[in-house]
Structure 1
Amino acid sequence: MQNPNSPSWADRTLLSEFMSVDELTELGTGDVAYIKPIKARDLKEMFPDVPPLHDNMTLYALLNADGTPILLADSREAAVANAFEAELEMASLH
């Protein structure tokens, strides 16, 4: 029986016959984004220029499909609004 959560077209081996690794990596870049809650103490890695903040503060990073940071917001709603304004398709993380 085939797993419905892993369709055959998503098989990396099969996809690599049609797309290069670089093409797969670029898939969705510039069109698809996701929001990730992030603690202030973990920000320096993604946003090197961020000023010092309280370590336990939760902020919301809007990230490109490839994980590249787009912006940092103080609320999820603000990050969603920016994605909407930039006409980005939102992907859900689980």
Structure 2
Amino acid sequence: MNIKTHDGIAEDAPFQAFLDPHQITEAQLAELGLEEIAYVRPIMTPNGPAFGVFAANGVPMAVAADNSVARAAIVQHELAPVSVH
């Protein structure tokens, strides 16, 4: 990715860098948040209503019987649950 520091010099130190939104590719945009966030949304399964856990890019990761269990699974796997409207 194209990463710049506050003074415009690229470095390997991620804590001092930010992503330049003018230089991001579509593929890089699709990867943002994959290792940090997941979301829950209601789904229909053959056994009835449930809650699906999805990666930031929409890939299904798990199914739970209720919303709180799905959100707890996200936190247990060291991801941040986010709301999707």
Tell me whether the two structures share a fold, i.e. TM-score over 0.5.
yes
Which structure has more RCO (C-alpha within 8 Å, separation ≥ 6)? 1
Distance 1:88 1:18 in 2: 27
The counterpart of 2:74, out of the listed 83, 87, 93, is: 83
Report the count of equivalent residues. Answer: 66
The counterpart of 1:62, out of the listed 44, 53, 58, is: 53
- Deviation track 1:2-30 (CA, whole Å, cap 9, x = no partner) reads xxxxxxxxxxxx93x32111110000012
Q: Which is helix-richer, 1 or 2?
A: 1
Q: Is 1:27 aligned to 2:25, yes or no?
A: no
Residue segments in structure 2 that go unaligned for 5+ positions in a row: 1-19
TM-score by length of 1: 0.64
Letter in 1 for 2:41: K
Superposition RMSD in Å: 1.5
Q: Which is strand-richer, 1 or 2?
A: 2
Percent sequence identity over aligned pairs: 27
Letter in 1 for 2:24: M
TM-score by length of 2: 0.70
Aligned to 2:83: 92
Letter in 1 for 2:70: A
Distance 1:29 1:88 in 2: 9
Residue segments in structure 1 that go unaligned for 5+ positions in a row: 1-13, 41-52
